[in-house]
Structure 1
């Protein structure tokens, strides 16, 4: 695809079905995450009516790319103001009275955060599904799948037992499978709210997925190498 774009400048799909559109989105997102775009250029997807989809190679970084974002890490992920038009995974959590059992104000904020993450993940071509069972009824979240790797995003009240109103009003977002040296927990901080950190959270999911993909490829290459170089059983000639 990159070679075609570099030569032709654009690739147009006429009357693609949903599976084709989803596959091309995955290809484009893979190219972006793995740095396959030509230097100084980016791939853009453009809908031409309801029956055509075009990929173009254009000059310059995307306006919302990390290099163009504020240096304080502010996120470009929009957060809805209302709990409407929700992703099915967020709807399932909203309707589950046994999960995310926290004060209503905090529950509403948590659902809005998860909806923003889910909507942005889908926009980037990823799958979002209902989260798994959690250790505590005070938790809730969704799973974001990138290149076949699932990452659970969990939201919970950080200090549910606190009598300090300010501490009791805090929520925290966490990624599963904590890894040494990698961020896995986000909370409100001076100068940056959780809403401003959503882009960083999705970026961390993408970084982990890239690590997982490299690890998988390395393990697969090692397995093939062992199979290729493995000793074959020796054959003994029968004595006559």
Structure 2
């Protein structure tokens, strides 16, 4: 018989006898979670949305684990991701959203260094010029207002340089 050490909940090591440790993927909890994840993904593909009305806290926790399992093990359909939103106050709704998550590493901007801030307010972008000429917005001491306009001009110029549209909105 082989003895494996396992960290106990109290922080110490506990000797646990075992003939051979089974990998996590073969344990009953993982198999059940994989089956639930597969079923959820199949339902989402077929139905678009899956709703659970009035789930208990334990059910919500289990469904979160199932979704995390599906995400970790690449079970989401290509080009889509599972999203969870509240439904009807106490309910829970899952749906498939298009594309990567907004916080995904693939969505993060590449490091391109600091954005240059101009020293003078010249050749202003029209949106920044409109703010400068509007006395109702950016109401603050003149030194802070000038600094704010310089920062906004730097951001507008950099955004245009990167191909974004910068425009004045109400």
Aligning the two structures, in what range does the TM-score lie when normalised by the shorter sequence?
0.3 to 0.5
Q: TM-score, normalised by structure 2?
A: 0.40
Which structure: larger Rg?
2
What TM-score, normalized by structure 1, do the two folds share?
0.29
